């Protein structure tokens, strides 16, 4: 773990299946899904990357062969160094990835979030339930085909839904997306806003 | 607001220990000056809500200092923060558990309209699941704005036909 050694070369020596991954900051590698758990174990036990900083996922969009990628960010508390490990999920639109909860208990909730948002099933996870959306929500909101405004579904509690007559409705996106405008204009005009709030999904814009 | 009688209108030496008033006036006066809020703190607005309750802004000046964390003892739910669809049914159930008469203040942009969270996860205004009496703008509103909303709610309580509602209930 000396600073003079190129960390990427050291990692590739440790994990022969690893290939270099394009990265603007820290060393990054791609690892096949079959060996990712073993690769992370090697990084943890032999390279000193003892801390799982983050576990997240990427959706490349519909029609891409390896659509979902799971990304692990590891940190070495001894060397103050980061490494990024990415692995493509098997299974296409029903992606599957191995769970790393056995290596880091912290991965538990991260994997639940990736499952909730992307629908990636983590094999070997002790309790793979949704963590942000409610049980029974039929979609995975961070998938590319899912609109930011959302889609119409039932409220989690059917009794309350019947009482209030309310559903989960797409958020009004009139004039949106709600981002600040750029260019030469005064600050009041540049604020994120809907251009026309007199209509929304309840009072539909007259065509 | 209902004002108390003064010497010119009422004198015990002349009229005895009797106060003549309208039932609405006295019921609304009692209700408006001891609002027990239910703090539905869901996001950063709750920090301003706490500030309103503490010594600097002192919501006790308006008789609403008794924050009750049990809906059964509360009169006014202050929805302070972003209401997600996951939270919405629980909020409605807490509202249902409050005893009538009950009021709702939607505090801040998120509770009033979903605020900046135009997304799949956020209820676009708490008025979709509970009836709101007073909306407060701001992100988050200052404590003065919440006090103003409470004063407006007291004024609204003062206009209610409480006696008729009680007798016909």
ipTM of the complex model? 0.76
Q: Percent helix, strand and coil across chain B, each rounded to 5? A: 45, 10, 45
Q: Are A61 and A34 in contact (CB under 8 A)?
A: no
- For B123, which residue in chain A has the nearest alpha carbon? A168
Whether residue A199 lies within 8 A of chain B, CB to CB, comes out as: no
Q: Are B74 and B37 in contact (CB under 8 A)?
A: yes
**CA pair distance B6, A36, nearest whole angstrom:** 83
> For B77-95, what is each residue's pLDDT tens digit?
999 999 999 999 999 999 9
Residue B22: the pLDDT is 86
Q: What are phi and psi of B93, to 5 degrees?
A: -65, -40
* Nearest in space to B128 (alpha carbons), one of B84, B78, B80, B72: B84
**CA pair distance B45, B109, nearest whole angstrom:** 9
Whether residue A1 lies within 8 A of chain B, CB to CB, comes out as: no
Whether residue A168 lies within 8 A of chain B, CB to CB, comes out as: yes
The nearest CA of chain B is from the CA of A187 a distance in Å of 17
For the entire predicted model, the pTM comes to: 0.81
**CA pair distance A190, A183, nearest whole angstrom:** 8
Low-confidence ranges of chain A (pLDDT < 50): 1-3, 195-198
Q: Which two tokens stand for residue B148?
A: 């103003």
Residue B135, strand partner residues: B106
Task: Report chain A residues whose CB lies below 8 A from the CB of B91.
Answer: none
Task: Report chain B residues whose CB lies below 8 A from the CB of A192.
Answer: 116
**Mean pLDDT, to the nearest integer, of B61-75?**
93
């Amino acid at each position: 773990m000396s600073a003079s050694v190129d960390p990427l070369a050291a990692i590739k020596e440790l994990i022969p299946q690893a290939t270099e991954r394009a990265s603007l900051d820290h060393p990054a590698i791609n690892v096949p899904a079959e060996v990712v758990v073993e690769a992370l174990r090697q990084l943890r036990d032999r390279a000193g990357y003892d801390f799982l900083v983050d576990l997240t996922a990427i959706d490349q969009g519909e029609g891409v062969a390896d659509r979902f990628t799971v990304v692990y960010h590891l940190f070495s508390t001894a060397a103050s160094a980061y490494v990024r490990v990415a692995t493509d999920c098997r299974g296409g639109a029903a992606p599957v990835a191995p769970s790393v909860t056995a290596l880091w208990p912290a991965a538990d909730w991260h994997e639940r979030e990736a499952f909730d948002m992307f629908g990636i099933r983590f094999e070997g996870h002790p309790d793979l339930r949704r963590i942000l959306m409610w049980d029974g929500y039929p979609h995975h909101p961070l998938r590319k085909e899912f609109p930011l405004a959302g889609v119409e579904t039932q409220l989690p509690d059917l009794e309350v839904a019947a009482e209030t007559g309310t559903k989960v409705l797409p958020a009004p996106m009139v004039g949106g997306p709600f981002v600040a405008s750029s260019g030469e204009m005064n600050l009041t005009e540049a604020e994120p806003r809907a251009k026309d709030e007199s209509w929304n999904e309840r009072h539909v814009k007259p065509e | 607001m209902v004002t108390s009688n003064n010497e010119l209108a009422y004198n015990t030496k002349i009229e005895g220990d009797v106060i003549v008033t309208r039932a609405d006036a006295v019921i609304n006066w009692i209700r408006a000056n001891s609002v027990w809020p239910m703090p539905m703190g869901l996001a950063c607005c709750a920090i301003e809500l706490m500030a309103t309750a503490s010594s600097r802004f002192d919501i006790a000046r308006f008789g609403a200092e008794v924050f009750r964390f049990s809906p059964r003892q509360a009169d006014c739910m202050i929805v302070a923060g972003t209401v997600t669809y996951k939270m919405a049914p629980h909020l409605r159930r807490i509202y249902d558990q409050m005893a009538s008469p009950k009021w709702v203040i939607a505090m801040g942009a998120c509770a009033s309209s979903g605020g900046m969270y135009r997304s799949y996860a956020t209820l676009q205004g708490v008025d979709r699941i509970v009836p709101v009496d007073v909306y407060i703008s701001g992100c988050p509103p200052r404590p003065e704005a919440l006090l103003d909303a409470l004063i407006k709610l007291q004024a609204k309580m003062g206009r209610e036909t409480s006696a008729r509602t009680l007798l016909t209930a």
